[in-house]
Amino acid sequence: MESNQHELYEYARNRINQKKRLFQHFIVLGIGSVFLFTANHLLNYHDETNWWIWIVAVWCSLFIFHVIKVLITDSFMNKNWERAQIDKLMLKQTKKIEQLKNDLENTKPTK
């Protein structure tokens, strides 16, 4: 397999794994929520308060952050974005070095 094809394969494999973990997180959230509700109401564990709602709310916010990371952030901040940023910074550094060299040559005292 060529290196370019291998990179595309690795990127696709990583994205599939990210989405698979996101789906697993969703399933665990659903099962965990049912378990917490059951523990609170049916097993009468601290039944006087609805503590399970707070735990599920925090868990849902963590799930939302996970969704944002996988579906939004990682979809455009991928290897191509990284390469473009590196190329941009390298070009900037090269221009700065050239400018410093020119400044140094222009300020040399002549004999």
pTM of this structure: 0.67
Q: If you count them, how many residues does the chain have?
A: 111
Whether 67 and 99 map to the same domain: the answer is no
Whether 91 and 60 map to the same domain: the answer is no
* The predicted structure's pLDDT at residue 19: 94
Q: 107 lies in which domain range?
A: 78-111
DSSP category for residue 45: T
* The predicted structure's pLDDT at residue 10: 86
Q: Is the dihedral of CA 40, 45, 48, 53 positive or negative?
A: negative
Which of 12, 29, 10 is CA-nearest to residue 67?
29
Contact 76, 9 (CB under 8 A): no
Whether 67 and 94 map to the same domain: the answer is no
24: pLDDT strictly greater than 70: yes
User: Which amino acid, residue 67?
Assistant: V
